[in-house]
Structure 1
């Protein structure tokens, strides 16, 4: 298997990526909406909506509250996905969550496993994050496989609001200090 850096690379997404990100979002809208807890109103699916999203991510990165990366193929420079680490405060506890989406056309090729390893390395080496959590719908076998391959352990179940419906998720965590 090729070294991950030969197949994909990660970089910060910025406002100049808005059109490309919008194209990715529109092509995969049905799938992404089924797994995303974020607001995906009609305005989200506009160029202005993506610019606002990217501006928000840049501000959050400056505040060290969110790190959002585009996943790009090295051969074509195509944006094939997005992966983010973001901080939440739940029950007075800070938690770092990883969330990701991948263009359906690239599922099953190992790209997300590679991207997750790169993000976990960033979490340890550059952001000083000690623990990362993630959730996946129980029938999202691919995502569960990616998390387990990266060393995440199941820690329980939690209901998460997806498009106004509470859906049970399998929750995972990995301690990055090990």
Structure 2
């Protein structure tokens, strides 16, 4: 699956992307750790990124999760990742949205484009009913992006995620398939 936007495109990562993924993670390690749980040092190796991609392909085949890279149209450079995880079928038909973007590419509208592409993919191709996302109250940029793409704040989850050994509050945002709301 490749979805193309005005400035970026998203597609499933392959093993050929492992070095670019490692570079993205290494260059943004301290930046990403402000918003995401700590990962062990061995995460930052080529072999672990290859395993990560392989696991992502397996989870996609099992309809459990869908991890995509975010690439610039101009250069084909990997600038972030966006995932639908914790896919639940049956009476829920939902998933959890997660994303990271290279710090030097923030504020340019790329993540807004990527989320819009993934929403279309989730609703039109995966036939999901609901997508949820969590965001720290201090992450104003991420809150703005979610609001711009149609997500609504459904409330505060207290002490929801452990980040840097501290239990952090997170807002719960969600978007519902427009034809089913």
TM-score, scaled relative to structure 2: 0.89
Gaps of 5+ in 1: none
- Residue 167 (structure 2) aligns with: 166
What is the Cα-based RMSD across aligned positions, in Å?
1.8
Paired residue total: 172
Q: TM-score, normalization: structure 1?
A: 0.91
- Cα separation, 2, equivalents of 1:122 and 1:167: 30
Residue 88 of structure 1, CA deviation: 5.7
2:55 & 2:33 partners in 1: Cα distance?
20
Residue 61 of structure 1 aligns with which residue?
Answer: 60
Report 1:86-165 matches (<5 A): 86-87=85-86, 95-158=94-157, 159-165=160-166
Runs of 4+ residues deviating >4 angstroms? none
Q: Can you give the 5+ residue segments of structure 2 that lack an aligned partner in the other structure?
A: none
Residue 72 of structure 1: how far off its partner (Å): 0.5
Aligned partners of 1:98, 1:177: CA distance in 2, in Å? 17
Query: What is the rounded CA distance, in whole Å, between the counterparts of 2:162 and 2:58 in structure 1?
Result: 25
Contact in 2 for aligned 1:35/1:162 (Cα 8 Å):
yes
In structure 2, what is the equivalent of residue 23 of structure 1?
23
Deviation at residue 94 of structure 1 after TM alignment: 7.0
1:7 Cα deviation (Å)? 1.1
| Aligned-partner Cα distance in 2 for 1:11–1:20 | 14
| 2:35 counterpart residue number | 35
Per-residue deviation, residues 129-166 of structure 1 (Å, max 9, x unmatched): 11000011111111000000011111111221224321
Distance 1:177 1:64 in 2: 22
Matched residues in 1 for 2:47 and 2:7: separation?
A: 31
Distance, in Å, in 2 between the alignment partners of 1:88 and 1:7 is 28
Aligned position for 1:46: 45
